[in-house]
């Protein structure tokens, strides 16, 4: 029976069921799905609490929203976070105190502050991780709602999972001759329409908003060569959003693509230090940095972390040191819309999406996400 605007449903409804063991996949399955308490309505105080807020703040936000129904529901909730003064950038800041001021619930606070993901957490601000968690939980809530409806109506509604454990794992690790294998971890809802039924690919959907390591005020497409980085992102996503349907995007990029367009490969050095410093601060590029950020199509280089202090707190790019390198050479960034379009055409038939629930499983019909 519904209680306090919520109901308990089987956690198995969140993700596609699989029958094979994960023992040979090399990936640890998430804990066995337990019954989940979910809100009956998507636009309720209970729904806001599901997104990660404390009960008190959830009710307060709902009351304010009901006074101004012209606002978009999710935008209203996320903007409530982004417009606040409270934030944290590095370990000198009070992350927990800022989350308490935001009204974030204890469970999400603990997930974001999990020591296992400290290096990854420090690559972005607290506001970023809170907003990302809210968006991911909202996507999960909508997906769960759809699954409940499908279950009650006895309708199939999930993309077909092919189901060959060893084969799928081998495909994931496979390197095509003459190609570079790249990966990305995200949630299923954010890859909707990336792969069409006719095989066409639209990677523009997967671009990331600024600021990033190499993009100060424009969207860019990020991938990595490092499987371990992808797995870490996926684990942190599940830690913050236990019911998230995390997937891996894999693509094989012909090597000639990097020669056919304007590609810059950066090592740790002054140019990388400047690029990261000005990009992360969302600041105006000096001439030498602008030349690479605005004129190059692809930048390959190390992933940054504000381990010595956040870039916003630095007075000059010279304060960026080798300790601000999280991963060497693992980041591939497509810098503009035109080159992303070229890439999308080039990797047609060379993009795979994998489900990660219980085991690594190739999704045979990615257009049905």
Let me know whether 196 and 71 are in one domain.
Answer: no
Tell me if 135 sits within 8 A of 128, measured CB to CB.
no
Residue 159 lies in a domain: no
What is the total count of domains within the chain?
Answer: 2
Mean pLDDT check: name the lowest of 101-105, 144-148, 284-288, 294-298: 144-148
For residue 362, list its beta bridge partners: 354
Let me know whether 117 and 242 are in one domain.
Answer: no
Let me know whether 339 and 202 are in one domain.
Answer: yes
Q: What is the C-alpha separation between 63 and 55, in angstroms, rounded?
A: 12
Q: What is the C-alpha separation between 72 and 234, in angstroms, rounded?
A: 28
Let me know whether 121 and 198 are in one domain.
Answer: no
Higher pLDDT, 146 or 324: 324
Q: What is the C-alpha separation between 338 and 173, in angstroms, rounded?
A: 29
* Final residue belonging to a domain, choices 94, 129, 153: 153
Let me know whether 79 and 212 are in one domain.
Answer: no
**4-58 pLDDT per residue, tens:** 788 777 666 555 444 333 333 334 444 555 677 889 889 999 999 999 999 999 9
Residue 103 lies in a domain: yes
Let me know whether 275 and 343 are in one domain.
Answer: yes
Which domain, by its residues, includes 116? 6-153
Let me know whether 115 and 197 are in one domain.
Answer: no
Angle at 28 between CA 329 and CA 16, to 5 degrees: 105
Let me know whether 94 and 229 are in one domain.
Answer: no
Let me know whether 231 and 119 are in one domain.
Answer: no
- Residue 205 C-beta-side C-alpha neighbours within 13 Å: 16
Q: What is the C-alpha separation between 324 and 320, in angstroms, rounded?
A: 6
Let me know whether 122 and 169 are in one domain.
Answer: no
Highest mean pLDDT among 25-39, 112-126, 143-157, 347-361: 112-126
Question: Coil, helix or strand for 288?
Answer: helix
For the entire predicted model, the pTM comes to 0.87
**79-98 pLDDT per residue, tens:** 999 999 999 999 999 999 99
Q: What is the C-alpha separation between 107 and 117, in angstroms, rounded?
A: 15
Let me know whether 169 and 100 are in one domain.
Answer: no
Preceding amide of 211 cis, omega within 30: yes
What mean pLDDT comes out for the span 113-125? 94
Helices (H), 154-263: 165-173, 227-240, 256-260
R_g (Cα) of the chain, nearest Å: 21
Q: What is the C-alpha separation between 256 and 12, in angstroms, rounded?
A: 44
Residue 195 lies in a domain: yes
Let me know whether 148 and 194 are in one domain.
Answer: no
* Final residue belonging to a domain, choices 86, 119, 153: 153
Phi-psi region of 282 (alpha: psi -120 to 50; beta: other; left: phi over 0): left
pLDDT exceeds cutoff 90 at 143: no
* Final residue belonging to a domain, choices 131, 153, 175: 153
Q: Provide φ and ψ at 239, rounded to 5°.
A: -65, -40
């Amino acid at each position: 029976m519904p209680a306090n605007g919520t109901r308990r449903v089987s956690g198995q409804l969140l993700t596609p069921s699989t029958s094979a063991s994960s023992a040979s996949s090399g990936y640890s399955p998430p804990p066995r799905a337990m019954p989940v308490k979910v809100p009956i309505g998507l636009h309720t105080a209970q729904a806001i609490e599901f997104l990660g807020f404390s009960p008190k703040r959830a009710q307060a936000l709902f009351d304010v929203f009901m006074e101004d129904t012209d606002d978009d529901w999710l935008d209203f909730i996320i903007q409530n976070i982004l417009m606040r003064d409270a934030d944290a950038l590095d370990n000198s800041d009070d992350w927990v105190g800022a989350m308490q001021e935001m009204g974030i619930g204890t469970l999400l606070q603990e997930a974001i502050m999990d020591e296992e993901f400290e290096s990854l957490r420090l690559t972005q601000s607290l506001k970023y991780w809170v907003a990302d968690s809210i968006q991911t939980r909202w996507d999960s809530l909508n997906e769960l709602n759809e699954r409940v409806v499908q279950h009650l109506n006895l309708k199939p509604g999930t993309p077909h999972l092919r189901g060959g454990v060893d084969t799928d794992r081998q495909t994931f690790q496979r390197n095509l001759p003459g190609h570079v294998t790249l990966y990305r971890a995200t949630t299923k809802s954010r890859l909707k329409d990336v792969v069409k039924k006719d095989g066409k690919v639209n990677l523009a959907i997967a671009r990331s908003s600024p600021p990033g390591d190499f993009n100060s005020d424009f969207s860019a497409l990020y991938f990595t060569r490092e499987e371990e980085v992808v797995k870490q992102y996926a684990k942190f996503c599940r830690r913050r959003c236990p019911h998230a349907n995390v997937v891996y995007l894999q693509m094989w990029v012909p090597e000639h693509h990097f020669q056919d367009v304007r590609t810059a490969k950066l090592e740790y050095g002054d140019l990388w230090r400047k690029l990261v410093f000005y990009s992360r601060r969302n600041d105006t590029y000096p001439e030498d940095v602008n030349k690479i950020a605005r004129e190059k199509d692809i930048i390959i280089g190390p992933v940054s972390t504000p381990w010595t202090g956040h870039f916003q707190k630095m007075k000059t790019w010279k304060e960026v040191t080798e300790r601000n390198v999280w991963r060497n050479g693992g980041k591939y960034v497509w810098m503009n819309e035109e080159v992303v379009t070229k890439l999308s055409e080039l990797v047609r038939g060379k993009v795979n999406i994998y489900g990660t629930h219980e085991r690594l499983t190739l999704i045979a019909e990615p257009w049905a996400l």
